[in-house]
Each structure stands twice: as C-alpha cells, then as structure tokens.
C-alpha cells in the first residue's frame, strides 16, 4: 500500500519515481566515468607530486619537482621540441592535403562517388596495420621505397634509422592514415556551401581562383578551424606509429610527449609514475587550452551567423 504512494510523492518539485529512474539509468555510465575517468584524473594530479618506489607506490612528496624536471631536464625539453615539430609536420600539411583532395572531389561529375570512396579508404587502416606495412616499405636494405628510389637513380634514404628523417617518415604514415577523416570533413563542409553563390560568381565572371579565394575559403573557415583543433589534439596523442616504427629512436628523435609518458611509466625497469603523471597533466593542460580557444572561436562564429 505504501510503496505506490511513496513513488507518486514529489520532493522539491521533482517526482520521486522520475528521480529513481534517473539514478538507475545514469548509474551505468556514471560508474564507468567515476572509476575510469574522474578518479584517475584526480589520481594523475596526486601522483605527479610524488616520487614512487619500485612497486609504483607514491612514497616521497616532492612538490613540483616532477614539473621542474620537465622544464629543466635537456631530454624532456627535447621531447617537447619533438612534439612541437611533429605537430608542424602533421597538422597543416594534413589539412592542406585533405582540403586539396576534397576540392578535387567536389564537382558532381561521373564516377565521383567511386573516387570519394577510394580516396577515403586509408581510414579503414588501423594504426598497427599501417605501421607494420610502412615498416616493410621503409626498410633500409631491401625496402620497397629505397628500391623504387634507386630504380629512378636517386640515392637511398635512411627513412627510420636517421635522426633527420625518422620523425618525418612517421609523420607521413600518420597523415596518410588520418587523411580519410580530414577529406570526409572537408567534403561535408564544401557541400554545405550553397551552389547559388558559385553560380552568381560565375555569372559575374569570377575566375576559379577568385571563387576559391572569396567564396570557398571564407565559408570553409569554421570547418578548417575545427579540423585544426581536432588534428592538433589527434597528433598530440599519436602513439602506435611511434611505438611500432621507431620506439622513440633513433637517439630520441621521435620521442614525443605521449611516447615519453609511456616510456617513463612502462618501459623496462622504469616505472617512474610520478614523472609520467606530470607529463599526463601537461598533455591535459595543452588539450584543455586548445579546446577553450575552440569554444571562444565558436561563440564568435555563432554571433556572426
């Protein structure tokens, strides 16, 4: 008798039954988030203020020492430089290639759907599959790429074994794999531009360069900005290619922020959880700053439209 009346009751303007259902329905996702995101988030900050014993237990409070290491240790300063260089190699070139291909795929001509599907195919490659296949292509002696270069009378390149080329070689694989995504997003952006604008410009006698410069580019700015943010974050998180192709070498020339985090926590005999956590906090801060900038920009965008 009392159960239905309890469920029908209202507390502070909310129905008790609805509250019960809400708790029940939200519990699965909130438990997962609590255990695997929120608690680890607090714990990452906590661990970053400690140095740990061999079993990974935080034993000595060291304050900001781990962060001090990041800004003073030459190895870690080098890591930050490598991370920045990797962004330079991947982000803008990746977006430019994606936009270029999307422009090629924009006109509604025969069989364009087939080309759209074909050119977006790298999306189907996993990090691991792409990395092991390019490893064979890049091989110094019998590798396919050097074979082709020599056939054309060009000197062989130490793709992955020279500190000058390794980061670029890894960047190529990363750009190639991510290209399907940039291409799809650019194409969707291009398709949202009304055809009438191009028609009007054509009637006014605008050249194809002018149509690109004064219609496509301004109207694509929000899409390109979105891609800039997303690819930067994606690039910062690159791990599999580096682990499988160079393991951070040669002479740390491909050790980026995320890879150094992995190495300090999990490489043989390391277990430096304090430093790894501090590096995790740095990554989190960088990603947060980028995201905040994006929100600011989007707000301005809404204001304009």
Partner 1 sequence: MKTLRLVAHYAVLILAAIIVLFPLYFTIAGALMTDAQLMRFPPMLVPQELHFENFAKVLEAMPLIRQFFNSIFVASAIVLGVLVTSVLAAYVLVFLNIPFKNVIFGIIMLTILVPSESLIVPKYLILVDLKWINSYPGLIFPFVASGFGIFLMRQFFLSFPREIYEAARIDGCGHLRFVLTILVPIVRPALGVLGLYVFIGSYNMYFWPLLVINTPDMQTLQIGLQALNSSESTQPSLIYAGAAIAIAPMLVIFYLFQKSIVRGLTSGAVK
Name the one range near partner 1 by CB under 8 A: 42-50, 68-76, 78-86, 156-164. 42-50
- Of 70, 76, 91, 281, which one interacts with partner 1 (CB under 8 A)? 281
What burial letters (b/e) apply to 75-104, b meaning 16+ CB within 10 Å?
A: ebeebbebbebbbebbbeebbebbbebbee
Q: CB under 8 Å to 227, separation ≥6 — which residues?
A: 95, 98, 182, 185, 186
Q: In whole angstroms, what is the distance from residue 265 CA to residue 276 CA?
A: 6
Q: How far is CA 229 from CA 100, 225, 235, 297, in A?
A: 19, 6, 10, 11
Using rule CB under 8 A, residue 8 touches partner 1: no
Using rule CB under 8 A, residue 12 touches partner 1: yes
Using rule CB under 8 A, residue 283 touches partner 1: yes
Residues from 57 through 86 that contact partner 1 (CB under 8 A): none
- Of 6, 7, 8, 22, which one interacts with partner 1 (CB under 8 A)? 22
Tokens 């056939």 belong to residue: 151
Residues from 242 through 261 that contact partner 1 (CB under 8 A): 243-244, 258, 261
Using rule CB under 8 A, residue 224 touches partner 1: no
Residues from 157 through 176 that contact partner 1 (CB under 8 A): 176
Determine which helix (DSSP H) or strand (DSSP E) holds 196, and give its type and residue range: helix 195-203
DSSP structure string for 121-163? GGGGS-HHHHHHHHHHHH-TTT-HHHHHHHHTTPPP--TTTST
Q: Which is nearer to partner 1, 74 or 269 (CB)?
A: 269
- Of 161, 198, 287, 297, which one interacts with partner 1 (CB under 8 A)? 287
Residues from 192 through 221 that contact partner 1 (CB under 8 A): 192
Residues from 95 through 154 that contact partner 1 (CB under 8 A): 101, 104-105, 107, 109, 115, 117-137, 142, 144, 147-148, 150-151
Using rule CB under 8 A, residue 293 touches partner 1: no
């Amino acid at each position: 008798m009392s159960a239905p009346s309890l469920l029908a009751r209202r507390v502070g303007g909310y129905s008790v039954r609805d509250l019960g259902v809400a708790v029940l329905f939200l519990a699965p996702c909130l438990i997962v988030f609590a255990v695997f995101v929120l608690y680890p988030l607090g714990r990452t900050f906590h661990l970053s203020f400690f140095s740990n014993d061999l079993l990974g237990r935080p034993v000595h409070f060291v304050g900001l020492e781990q962060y001090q290491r990041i800004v003073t240790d030459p190895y870690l300063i080098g890591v930050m430089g490598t991370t920045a260089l990797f962004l330079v190699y991947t982000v803008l070139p990746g977006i430019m290639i994606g936009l270029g291909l999307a422009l090629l795929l924009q006109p509604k001509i025969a069989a364009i759907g087939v080309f759209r599907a074909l050119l977006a195919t790298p999306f189907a490659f996993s990090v691991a599959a792409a990395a092991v296949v390019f490893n064979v292509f890049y091989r110094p002696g019998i590798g396919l790429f050097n074979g082709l270069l020599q056939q054309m009378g060009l000197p062989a390149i130490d793709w992955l074994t020279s500190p000058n080329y390794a980061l670029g070689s890894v960047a190529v694989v990363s750009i190639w794999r991510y290209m399907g995504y940039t291409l799809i997003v650019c194409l969707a952006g291009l398709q949202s531009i009304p055809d009438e604008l191009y028609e009007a410009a054509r009637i006014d006698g605008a050249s194809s360069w002018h149509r690109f410069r004064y219609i496509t580019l301004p109207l694509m700015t929000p899409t390109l900005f979105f891609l800039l943010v997303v690819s930067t974050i994606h690039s910062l998180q690159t791990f599999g290619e580096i682990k499988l192709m160079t393991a951070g070498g040669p002479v740390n020339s491909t050790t980026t922020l995320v890879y150094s985090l992995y190495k300090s926590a999990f490489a043989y005999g390391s277990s430096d959880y304090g430093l790894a956590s501090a590096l995790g906090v740095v990554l989190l801060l960088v990603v947060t700053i980028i995201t905040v900038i994006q929100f600011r920009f989007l707000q301005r965008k809404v204001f304009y439209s």
